[in-house]
Structure 1
Amino acid sequence: MRIGVTEILLILILALVVFGGGKLAGVGKSLGQSIREFKKEVKTSGEEDTSTDNKPESQEPPKA
């Protein structure tokens, strides 16, 4: 079952009627900011992981 262009337009029109133009624009803006922040965090966490993997770990022999 695939969603066609007609169904997408119907959903967008219903969302516009339910939320109104101003709220719908605010929701889109918030969603865009959330996606940007998520991508930034994923990128920085990936950089932190690679920087810690390159450091050699000093292992002391177990004391008896």
Structure 2
Amino acid sequence: MILSAILLFLADLGGGEILVVLTAVLLLFGADKLPGMARSAGRGLRSFNDAKNEIRNELERSIKDIKKPE
């Protein structure tokens, strides 16, 4: 969901605008910190998705238990 929102935002940007944003990020954080930041963002996104899937699975199990005839 978050990824789709980001992609929708990026769809409105042209190539030049994306280049300006990437250049600004590079100047602000430096080339040596970018891989670490990308790794941290990836880990955070993975953690979020794992938690989301765990909540979804728990809700599905609860719904099945409620619907199960006794």
The interval holding the TM-score normalised by the smaller chain is 0.7 to 0.9
Tell me, in whole angstroms, the C-alpha distance in 2 between the residues paired with 1:14 and 1:52.
47
Moved over 6 A (4+): none
Q: CA deviation at 1:38?
A: 0.8
- Which structure is higher in helix share? 2
Deviations 1:7-41 (A, max 9, x none): 11111112111110121221111111111111111
Which protein has the larger Cα radius of gyration, Structure 1 or Structure 2?
A: 1
Gaps of 5+ in 2: 1-11
Structure 1 vs Structure 2 CA RMSD: 1.7
Name the structure, 1 or 2, with higher relative contact order (CA <8 Å, separation 6+): 1
Gaps of 5+ in 1: 57-64
Q: TM-score, normalized by length of structure 1?
A: 0.73
Q: Does residue 33 in structure 1 map to residue 46 in structure 2? A: no
Percent of pairs with identical residues: 29
* Partner secondary structure for residue 3 of structure 1: coil
